Chains A and B, each alone.
Chain A
Amino acid sequence: MSLVYQISDNLISPLGFTTLSNFDAVVSGSTGLKYYAEGSLGVPEAFCAALIERLLLHEQCHAAGIPQDYTDFDKLIILSATLALRNTGIDSSSDRTVFILSTTKGNISLLAEGFTKGSPDKRLFLWHSAGLLSDFFNNPNKPMVVSNACISGVSAQLVARQLLLSGRFDYAVVVGADLVSKFVVSGFQSFKSLSQQVCRPFDAAREGLNIGEAAGTIVLGRASGVDELPANNLYIAGGSITNDANHISGPSRTAEGLYRAIASAVKTNNHEEPGFICAHGTATPYNDEMEAIALNRVHMQHIPVFSLKAYFGHTLGAAGLIETIIASQALRQSVIPANAGYNECGVTQPVAVNTETKAYACSSFLKTVSGFGGCNAAMLVKKKEVN
């Protein structure tokens, strides 16, 4: 049976411009999150966020030949895709290669420069950014954008998987990114969901999330079966997108959507248990509680689970991609990262929060995400075992 596997990837965050530099930073316990005093980015209240150093970004983009007049967001997605495609030998200008952009707010910070209702700056349209991305690589296909709130990054991978399995494309370049702006910070502040300290997923003292900037790219290809894959290659073994059908801004009390997403993602694998779970774990009181309920409902409360939010913050449309990239690296290297910021269980249904980064060999992981609009997604990634 055909399957979709990972060919290469890239991760850009305050912790580095490559997957490996980010992974090493996670393993060494670094965080990209910093405290920003009131007035930062024009926001009246203080906040904690993970911001990419612009000078470094511009240097890297210059070296990669990305036009200087592009916005930071547009530069970031092109840079991440460039780095991920480097040395893959994939013909990015072929109509057999599709680019998919995952983002929630794209160039939204342009609104702060002033706008006239009815004649918007073209760069505000998410498809415009996707167009610049495919144009940079001379790709002839129509630009694709998946914008599904905070599940976008997993949604986009599952969309890519379906398009590859259908045979229409041979390669998919899935790029996810979001930047931090006054717009996004003030929005989450209005929800009272931001913590001024580094967030503490699943902990009793957690008081909210942090916003982060990142871009992640995963290049996917199709193989005719597991046997065709080289050892240690990772492939998407299952996935599902669901809705809570409950509330647009609060998670379901019964975790209905996430429960269904996980159950469906593992069903196609004979209900095989994943080796670890890379959870959404935003560190808001409601999200983490909901996830604990979902994991208990699918009887996965004993499987080691961690959130990466205390390293990167919540990176919105990039989250599903960058967290898949780190979890994939962990699976390849037989390591499990710690759920940083955790001391004491703060959810009513216990889950096996992994408290230290350590050697840990297994053959699969589950990635979960949930977002506004009541959406949820779960994806099972497996490793081709060495025979």
Chain B
Amino acid sequence: MILVSKYCVMRRHTLIEDGKLIFESNPDLKYSEFLSAVYRNLQLQYPKFFKMDELSKTGFLAAEVLLSGRTDNRNLQNENMPVYMICRSSSLETDENFELTTGAEYFPSPSVFVYTLPNIVLGEIAIKNKLYGENTCFVCEDFANEIVFDYICQGVRSACPNEALVLFIDQYHGVGEVLAVLISEQRNENDGITGFTIEHINELLNKH
């Protein structure tokens, strides 16, 4: 069975790891300010973070919570681990920002344009964590897409070792949220926090 071995939920004001609140910001912070506060709280030293758009920052930080430390520990390193994402709004916020640079005042910028693709989040995570495996981005109206779940479960079963990182992520108009889960194939249901099913994932999203 495919189980969640570790998870992280991040929304405006709160960051939760495996059910525990690990950071809470001042509720007056804008989402962009909240992202910077999380970055500081995690004591990251990664200047590229500040070049990212809010969607990438959101996914990147959640992946850091789950993966940081792994690359220092060779036993836990799995450079072929697949990373999947399911998002609703794709890169629409950055699309709008880029569109505004192509009007009467014409100054399109490559550093904005590159983020007009949702899968850049996966690229950022792959670069930071040296992950060379599959990365696939699905755009769905809601996270509860059983076909995508099926695909991911098969991906984990054929990965070696049998684990994957999955991001349920959305960011638009100053509001972002992510549930990142590390999943793996296990024989015993006690070897994970919860199952990797639509019901369990919805439960995690609603609980926090």
Contacts and interface: CB of A to CB of B under 8 A. Distances in A.
Interface stretch (A5-13, A23-31, A112-120): A112-120
Given A159-B136, A190-B108, A147 B147 contact: no
Contacts of B132: 242-245, 256-257, 260
A117 B139 contact: no
Given A125-B141, A245-B126, A374-B126, A183 B98 contact: yes
Interface string A223-262: 0000000000000000011111111110000001100100
A186 interface: yes
Interface size bracket, A side:
35 or more
Interface stretch (A160-168, A195-203, A290-298): A160-168
B131 A117 contact: no
Contacts of A241: 134-136
Interface of A: 44, 98, 104-105, 108, 111-112, 115, 117-118, 120, 124-128, 131, 141-149, 155, 159, 162-163, 166, 168, 182-183, 186-191, 240-249, 256-257, 260, 371-375
Contacts of A149: 117, 119-120
Nearest to B79: A245
Contact of B123 (A108, A131, A163, A243): A243
Given A148-B119, A247-B127, 16 more contacts: A111-B96, A120-B96, A124-B92, A125-B139, A127-B88, A144-B148, A186-B106, A191-B110, A241-B135, A243-B133, A245-B126, A245-B130, A257-B132, A373-B120, A373-B123, A375-B122
Contacts of A182: 102
A41 B99 CA distance: 14
B28 to A, nearest CB: 19
B22 interface: no
Main SS class of interface, A: mixed
17 contacts: A108-B95, A120-B172, A124-B92, A141-B147, A146-B139, A148-B119, A148-B137, A155-B136, A244-B126, A244-B132, A245-B79, A245-B127, A245-B131, A248-B114, A371-B117, A373-B117, A375-B123
